[in-house]
Structure 1
């Protein structure tokens, strides 16, 4: 019936909007294992895009750094090595200073609401800070703490002399500020560097700690909202510009604040469940911070806000205004840490 209707329209000289559409094949690249919950979230994202495009946008997902290293994923989207990529902006310190506000300690309280709050806020800044790509959405994982091999970290002074693999640039600055040494490594490499003694610990969400096997080489686990890592999905501009209006709408309808929460929600539940898994393992020590210890961490992190603000000023943005807007957005979505 559809073919007959299309033939009739063409015979009458009428070209329906979808008639000129070409099938678009998207290469979606990320750097965590296919067993990571992000894989399923990206599969769901791709399925929604395909459905809303009338089946004209197909996707293939490449996990585990198949198309390139984790650190390179922003440039991979810019250069068309992949069409859609999962990016940790903090893997390139100083390059994306504004979004780094989301990494400030004790700021975000949950993955889903935090992702929606961050995304809604960052849409104002993304066209400038990430102008080389089409920004899709921003999100975060569950708030997390420090995991170490031989020493329990309860107050900031405990980091002195330790070698820590930080999750992002803000945590790297914090480690340095506290007298520790940073060890840079992508997430899939963390177990190995701790096992070999290259690093003493890591800032990691609990579920991923188990997924990557890092629980096998660590013993002490801080259960506190010390930090989150910001992430983005970005797209190659040329690929987007090749699309028909209907195809662009399918992308845009899945590159918004609601989609950010939808992408982050299942991952957040996975990470939160990791804490109970670690507690169930013999020999593991999972601990919370006292109010007094938390106050010490917050006091110690104050210079990070100043460092972030100085970097943002260089972009021409107003850091005080930007941070106030972010806090208001997080509060709106119920994810501002107290």
Structure 2
């Protein structure tokens, strides 16, 4: 791929006290990524230099003020340096200062993407607690990106090599999630799933939709008719519009069937229903995507791992896969 055709991907540094800086420098030590894209980190150059020393990689961290100033060559990591944090930040500690910085990295990345300077955003993990301490009361990256881009209809999507799961609700309590599941929200999530699969190159998407209760309610035996009230109308509507959606189906067998190849994507009703099966496959295997945004966004499928931050042992495979997935989505 010629240099001119490579997509420019912004990588936000995440919480500086977590493993984000380490997994970024480890990932960008892969020469193959530079054959496919032009990566630029939005963060603090000082922290990336420290991370490179910790993991023992001979990388040059180049601080730039504009995306156009990046060298985009293997061996040099270009960093759009916001210079928000001092050098002596301890690893593994929750801080409102770090939470605010993580938010500012994302905000700048969204501005650059909407302005046409970046073609995708790949995010390193942030701490929700630190984010809140820093004055930004969002449940997580998904909601931040939607708010900053003015996106109304969006959904969290977890992706592995053989399982794709999209969520009707995410970071809220289970009782709140059930209240928020409505036919309109389920319909919107199925539609977003269908459109995302088309973008991923699936010509005729097959979507399996989970129930809420065990055995998808088993015709009213379990629960209070939530499947028929909240989910079935949405499925009928999507089918009438030409989408291939089946359900509501028992979640315990649906994930098995999807991994077997019966479905291209599973629609999960709440956070743990969708996250559990994906994370059983391994944290390093998963990529988190936000479907429905006006740009491509991917992320690692794990947290800040404060307990191992600064030790140089964090696994970068999910970050590398998130960058690769962003490239595939752009293409």
TM-score (norm 2): 0.24
Quick check: which one's helix share is greater? Answer: 1
Larger Rg, first or second structure (1 or 2): 1
- TM-score for both structures, normalised by structure 1: 0.24
Higher relative contact order (CA 8 A, sep 6+): 1
